[in-house]
Amino acid sequence: MSSVGSGGRVQPARPGDPSRIGPYRIIGRLGAGGMGTVHAGLTADGLRVAVKVIHPAQAEDPEFRARFRREVQLSARVQGACLVPLLAADPEAAAPWLTTAYAPGPTLDQHLFEQGPLTGGTLYAFATGTAQALAAIHEAGVVHRDVKPQNVILTPAGPRVLDFGIARAADGTSVTRTGVMTGTPGWISPEYYRAGMAGPEGDMFAWGALVAYAATGHLPFGTGTPDVVAFRVISGDPDLDGVPEELRQLLERALAKDPSDRMTAVLAAEECSLLLASEATQVLSGGGGLEPTRVGELVTAAWNMPTLDDPTWHAPSSSSSFRRRTVTTVVVAAAVLGGITGGIVAFPTSGDSSGASKSTAGKTTASPAAGAHGTAQRSETDAPGTATESPVDPRKAVVPADPLAGVPNPAFTRAGDESQPTSDEWRASTLASTPEEKDAEKAIRDQMASMLATKDMDFMQPTVTFDKRAQTVMVTGGPVSQIPEEDQEVFRRAGDMAACTTLAHQLKGNPTTWPYGRFAVSWKNFDGDVEPSVLGFGEATDGCYTAIAGQWQGDEAGFATAGIPSSDRDEIRVAGAADRAIIAAWNARIAEGNGLEPFAASDAIDLGFDPVEKAAYVWARDTDGALTGRAQRANFQDSVSTILCRKLTAEYHSNKTWNYTRWSVAVYEGNSRVPEPLGSGECTP
């Protein structure tokens, strides 16, 4: 999570931003993401730093704080060339923070868009420097796990690898959310798709794809939905057309399907340095071997990136200035690392060429708007596209599952078309122009904002466009640098649901004039991206909610969203009360002597909310087999559903903005990362 404005420029501070964090004077913002805000800071002697502060919602979550603490421990172990050093951190603060050196420059993504592929000595310097960075990471016993173009900065001094937000120790120890796959499609190794393995070999697979992308400007496994890209990664050959032959041979070894066939980062750095030396002989002469220090000189000598500066760094930004939150394409050196106990800790750096001093010592939500539980949908009897109030409780409005049933000549003619919307169709789409399109755009944006606000993700504001020929509405997000995969998945689900329900109502109300029935949710990886990644697509004639035999069913995606900490006060309050009541009810059943066993851990039961399908999810981590039998599971489901429906319906009647009436229960057996559903249902308010 880190991003800055174009060219690394400082954005004005926003109302409520701190003037100091630890020992650093804050002069503005460098960016924001799903987990926190990155501030532009200065030390007492004027050193430029990036200070990342975690969002309050995440800071209140013990699991997230533990992950943050663990990640700082890992990051403090990593020092080396072409890395952004961690300078200080206070993971125990009320608002946990960490500080890294500031590294100006574009991400690889933006450079490729603006300047085209890297060539000659700069390409070989890039390959050598990034391999050196991974060698240092692996030597420290750490696996990066998120090597991708958005996490590499092309600074004037050389490439810099950053963002350890999902790093883990090579011995496998980490603190991560159960059941969530980490990483970015297209930059995930085959073995991780197959078995969830994340070792140094996986980093090298991503390195091979990264260097190929830098050399050609096209993704080696193409674009498309995550499952399509995953299939190519697992079964297809990478597209290396355009890669210089000598480098291509190295990349083919790095991109081998079998992890044991891949080269190590140390070997990759050595072999790339030989290619670099052959390119740089006219720049850096002299005999001798290729020691690490000399390799660093080669990288610097062959590197060709302009020096950047921003006058804003020389004077504090006005704290009264306000600018709407923006998405950006150039990343600061907020290498997402985690925290360690004991308050503020300063970390020494070694050999950093970004201008950071050897050490820096140091002694800090968007409130959801009313109705943050989800924008109420209009009744089917309302005129589509209007905002008129209905005397009927809007929470009871039914989304039509088959809005074109019985319509002889509907305007939407692509029903049943399962083809994925193309980049050409996305580029041909335009902003809303008719009153009906503008109403639909507002409804989609409002619904998404209310869903995302409950997870403190409303900074991901969508753009809604229309392609009448394709009869498709496009919902586009991004770019947000280094956004966690789980946050992007919530954006996809919110976009799918908002577009589907809005179009279903429009089709029902105006079946012979409303032409839009398909929708696609896409993500731009950088400003100016003309081929955004398609996150999902569908049509509003198939029903918008997950149902089996007409009954709503929870699913793994809902569990993953529910596992993200909520920032909505009502949700937090109801979740706490329901969690305590469920635990008490379960313990009471155990005490009755029905052959039920307690869970191994006192905190084995968790509860969260999915604002997309408006459902409460409860899951148990069963490490010792307390729920192995059918009777035990039936008892647990009954206990949970009884208590949960009681709490949900009580809130429904007392709170007019509350619309959670669905529930789902699951269990994680042993160390499984996948929830096993026990049952789902709907409460009757």
Write out the catalytic residue numbers: 146
Nearest CA-CA partner of 6 in 215, 291, 290, 312 = 312
What gap in Å lies between CA 626 and CA 587, rounded to an integer? Answer: 13
Q: How far apart are CA 381 and CA 10, in angstroms?
A: 50
Sign, Cα dihedral of 286, 291, 294, 299: positive
Give the tokens for residue 594: 């029905």
Of 270, 272, 314, nearest to 290 by C-alpha is 270
Measured in whole angstroms, the distance separating CA 222 from the mean position of its chain's CA atoms is 20
**Side chain identity, residue 319:** S
The pair of structure tokens assigned to 625 is: 């087999």
Task: Look up residue 185 and give its amino acid.
Answer: P
Among 141, 144, 160, which residue's Cα sits nearest to residue 152? 160
Name the token pair of 107.
């991400």
- Planar angle of CA 268, 270, 272, nearest 5 degrees: 65
Nearest to 317 by CA among 666, 25, 652, 680: 25
Neighbours of 312 (CB within 10 A): 17
Contact (CB, 8 A) for 338 and 164: yes
Tell me the two tokens of residue 93. 């603060």
**C-alpha Rg value of the chain to the nearest Å:** 26
Q: Say which residue the tokens 């399962």 belong to.
A: 418
Alpha carbon separation from 300 to 47, 56, 142, 268 (Å, rounded)? 22, 40, 26, 18
Bridge partners of 88? 99, 346
Under DSSP, the state recorded for 447 is H
| Residue given tokens 């009436």 in the structure block | 661
User: How many other C-beta atoms can be found within 10 angstroms of the C-beta atom of residue 225?
Assistant: 16
CA distances to 289, 555, 650 from 552, in Å: 67, 10, 21
Which runs of E-coded beta strand occur in 395-506?
430-431, 463-467, 472-477
Query: What does the alpha-carbon distance between residue 383 and residue 562 come to, in Å, rounded to a whole number?
Result: 33
**Which residue has tokens 């991109």?**
255
**HEC letters along 411-440:** CCCCCCCCCCCCHHHHHHCEECCCHHHHHH
- Distance, CA of 226 to CA of 217 (rounded, Å): 20
Q: Which strands, in side-by-side order, build the sheet including 97-101?
A: 20-21, 24-32, 36-42, 48-54, 97-101, 86-90, 345-346
Alpha carbon distance 331, 80 (integer Å): 19
Cα dihedral 672, 675, 678, 680 in deg (nearest 10): 170
CB 377 within 8 A of CB 394: yes
Residues 54, 24 contacting (CB under 8 angstroms): no
